[in-house]
């Protein structure tokens, strides 16, 4: 990594420095349990799966929770719940994932039927074959409900295509790591974004994963044993030596 003369206040890529980078290899704890299930300490990334983010707006009619008959309600929570369940069913059929992780309710009171409800969804296409198929299905469609005052609305926020890591570099990593042990290093995809994915459009990039026995990520429960961390560091050192001496 080139650091001499680095200006921390400079923004954006520096073409002159990028041109001096032969390859970028990132070491990261796996955000999942593939390595734990296979019994391997270290793996190589194949690609970052594509994913999208959507915003759903559900409109209803504000009213009193204790006095309004069910038949008279225009409750946006019902089409929201149906949309969540439908997205989950479609994700299971497609071998994908779908998540509603951000919500905003107005007026957010325990005794009020809300007039509006916004939800954020982050689905991802099938994990076995990185690509664009499944994006539309697992995005989920807002489900209209009989008697609803307004039809739900879906707005696309972000769409990220598949990011495939450099095949030649990936194969070289597998060769370097396999030459020491004689064992094949597993290759697996990931649904999480990484620095290597951002840089992949400018320089050849690759990733090494360290086993995560819990599979938990973005949580204090994310974990890797000391022995597995050491195995990952040694694998990275072997890769850097192999690439530098090639």
**220 Cβ contact partners less than 8 Å away, ≥ 6 residues apart:** none
**195 Cβ contact partners less than 8 Å away, ≥ 6 residues apart:** 24, 26
Q: 19-48+162-244 with 51-159: one CATH topology?
A: no
- What are the phi and psi torsion angles at 3 (to 5°)? -125, -20
How high is the pLDDT of residue 51?
82
* Contact (CB, 8 A) for 218 and 32: no
Query: 51-159, what's its fold?
Result: Alpha-Beta Plaits (3.30.70)
CA distance linking residue 123 with residue 160, whole number of Å: 11
Q: Which two tokens stand for residue 33?
A: 């349990």
How high is the pLDDT of residue 50?
84
Architecture of domain 19-48+162-244: 3-Layer(aba) Sandwich (3.40)
How high is the pLDDT of residue 40?
94
pTM here is 0.70
* Contact (CB, 8 A) for 21 and 240: no
CA distance linking residue 15 with residue 143, whole number of Å: 48
CA distance linking residue 5 with residue 24, whole number of Å: 20
Domain locations in the chain as residue ranges: 19-48+162-244, 51-159
For residue 185, the Cα-to-chain-centroid distance in whole angstroms is: 23
Q: Which two tokens stand for residue 103?
A: 């919500």
Helices (H), 182-225: 195-199
What does pLDDT average to in each consecutive run of 10 residues of the chain (246 residues)? 45 60 90 93 91 87 93 92 91 88 88 83 52 42 51 73 90 89 82 85 91 91 94 95 88
How high is the pLDDT of residue 125?
55
Burial 5-35 (b: 16+ CB within 10 A, else e): eeeeeeeeeeeeeeeeeebbbbbbbbbbebb
CA distance linking residue 152 with residue 76, whole number of Å: 8
| Cα→Cα distances 232→13, 120, 210, Å | 28, 35, 6
Cα distance between the two ends of the chain:
18
């Amino acid at each position: 990594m080139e650091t001499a003369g680095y200006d921390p206040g400079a923004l954006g890529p520096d073409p002159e420095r990028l041109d001096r980078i032969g390859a970028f290899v990132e070491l990261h704890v796996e955000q999942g349990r593939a390595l734990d299930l296979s019994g391997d300490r270290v793996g190589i990334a194949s690609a970052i799966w594509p994913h999208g983010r959507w915003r759903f707006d559900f409109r209803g009619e504000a009213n009193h929770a204790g006095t309004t008959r069910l038949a008279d309600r225009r409750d946006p929570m019902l089409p929201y719940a149906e949309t969540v369940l439908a997205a989950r069913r479609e994700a299971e059929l497609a071998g994908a994932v779908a998540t509603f992780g951000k919500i905003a309710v107005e007026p957010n009171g325990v005794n009020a039927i809300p007039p509006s409800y916004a939800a954020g969804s982050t689905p991802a296409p099938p994990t076995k074959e990185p690509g664009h198929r499944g994006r539309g299905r697992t995005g989920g469609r807002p489900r209209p409900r009989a008697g609803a005052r307004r039809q739900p609305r879906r707005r696309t926020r972000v769409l990220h295509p598949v990011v495939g890591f450099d095949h030649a570099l990936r194969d070289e990593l597998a060769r370097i790591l396999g030459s020491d042990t004689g064992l094949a290093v597993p290759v697996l995809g990931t649904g999480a974004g990484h620095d290597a994915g951002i840089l992949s459009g400018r320089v050849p990039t690759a990733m090494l994963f360290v086993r995560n026995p819990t599979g938990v990520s973005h949580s204090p429960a994310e974990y890797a044993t000391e022995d597995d961390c050491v195995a990952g560091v040694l694998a990275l050192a072997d890769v850097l030596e192999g690439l530098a001496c090639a």
